């Protein structure tokens, strides 16, 4: 998918988020930088525990403090420093300009409120200019729910998982966000529904022109929907660039390992190569390159020296030896 030249919406620069204090705080996000333009989709990919979800929450200052702490860096949203916004501006940003959808729709929807009441609440907070009854039906229609009037009268438990996720997306769209943060939006759904939801997000993005930050552990999912991809490991981005470049020619050993872990039907007779070992404890990151205990290409230097960003054309990589691999 080609990215069009658009205005910058979000710039994250050397962001650090830590949990706990003392000598060994957990470095959940450890100096990451990326940007996102209007109407663009950036996929943030990595295993559980790599820092993706904390990054997502940090964008609208949703990391609970304590135990969390913004330990450095900056988040600029449309030129404003999110870390310095007043409480009132922050309220406008959350659920308004920046909307979220999460993995488990059943835990994000209020079980004792009908769908229409929940959508009403979103519209009351962010779009007082519209006729709520009409808009609720429009929103449910545009996320592909059949018989929207009937769905609006239902409670969440009366809907399937896929329908609940569509309602969540409708709630997120109710404020006409400029940025939609979708944190593992399809993980709890079965495979056919996953594909439908991703296709829906891509078509809604075209319709509403919003940017999407898609958080996923599955690099295989991003090919159809993302313009760019950033791969995260141990709180750092280790490789980022245009999606076709990263998927066709991954250069960081961790990106390669993630791709090898994607199930394929063709070629490798359906085999999947898991990644050996575990994501390190963010309180005790290994010295040198944090991936070295799991990396098939690690050399002595990797155990002592932390790799720095290297940029070539529009790809950034954090590995000592990426040009030789």
Binding site for ligand SF4 (CB under 6 A): 253, 289, 291-292, 295, 297-298, 302, 307, 319-321
Per-residue DSSP letter, 94 = B
Pick 20 or 31: Cβ nearer ligand SF4: 31
Could you tell me the two tokens for 300?
Answer: 């002595």
Distance in Å, CB of 285 to ligand SF4, minimum: 12
**SS3 category, 5:** coil
Pick 170 or 234: Cβ nearer ligand SF4: 234
| Closest listed residue to residue 122, CA positions, set 62, 170, 179 | 170
Question: For the purposes of burial, counting CB atoms within 10 Å of the CB of 232, is it exposed (0-12), middle (13-18) or buried (19 or more)?
Answer: buried
Distance in Å, CB of 28 to ligand SF4, minimum: 20
Pick 263 or 287: Cβ nearer ligand SF4: 287
Distance in Å, CB of 46 to ligand SF4, minimum: 14
Pick 250 or 253: Cβ nearer ligand SF4: 253
Distance in Å, CB of 243 to ligand SF4, minimum: 21
Distance in Å, CB of 290 to ligand SF4, minimum: 8
Pick 282 or 307: Cβ nearer ligand SF4: 307
**106-111, long-range: CB < 8 A, 24+ apart:** 106/156, 106/157, 106/161, 106/164, 108/168, 109/156, 109/164, 109/167, 109/168, 110/156, 111/155, 111/156, 111/157
Tell me if 55 sits within 8 A of 70, measured CB to CB: no
Query: What's the CA gap between 64 and 102, in Å, rounded?
Result: 17
**SS3 category, 179:** strand
Rg (C-alpha) for the chain, rounded Å, is: 20
Distance in Å, CB of 231 to ligand SF4, minimum: 11
Pick 208 or 297: Cβ nearer ligand SF4: 297
């Amino acid at each position: 998918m080609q990215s069009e030249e658009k205005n910058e919406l979000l710039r994250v620069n050397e962001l650090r988020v830590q949990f706990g204090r003392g000598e060994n705080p957990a470095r959940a996000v450890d100096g990451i930088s990326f940007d996102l333009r209007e109407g663009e989709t950036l996929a943030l990919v990595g295993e559980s525990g790599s820092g993706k979800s904390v990054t997502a929450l940090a964008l609208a200052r949703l990391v609970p403090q304590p135990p969390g702490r913004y330990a450095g860096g900056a988040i600029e949203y449309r030129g404003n420093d999110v870390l310095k916004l007043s409480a009132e501006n922050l309220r406008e940003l959350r659920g308004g300009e920046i909307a979220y959808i999460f993995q488990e729709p059943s835990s994000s929807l209020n079980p004792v409120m009908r769908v229409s009441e929940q959508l009403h609440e979103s519209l009351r907070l962010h779009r007082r200019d519209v006729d709520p009854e009409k808009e609720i039906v429009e929103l449910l229609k545009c996320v592909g729910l059949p018989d929207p009037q009937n769905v609006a009268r239902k409670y969440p438990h009366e809907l399937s998982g896929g329908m609940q996720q569509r309602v969540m997306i409708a709630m997120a769209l109710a404020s006409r966000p400029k940025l939609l943060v979708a944190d593992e939006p399809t993980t709890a759904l079965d495979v056919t529904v996953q594909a439908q939801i991703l296709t829906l997000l891509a078509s809604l993005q075209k319709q509403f022109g919003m940017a999407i930050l898609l958080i996923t552990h599955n690099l295989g999912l991003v090919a159809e929907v993302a313009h760019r991809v950033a791969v995260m490991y141990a709180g750092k981005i280790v490789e980022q660039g245009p999606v076709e470049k990263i998927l066709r020619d991954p250069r960081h050993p961790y990106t390669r390992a993630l791709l090898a872990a994607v199930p394929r039907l063709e070629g490798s007779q359906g085999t999947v190569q898991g990644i050996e070992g575990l994501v390190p404890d963010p309180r005790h990151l290994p010295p040198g390159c944090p991936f070295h205990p799991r990396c098939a290409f690690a050399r002595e230097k990797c155990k002592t020296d932390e790799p720095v960003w290297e940029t070539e054309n529009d790809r950034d990589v954090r590995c000592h030896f990426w040009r030789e691999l």
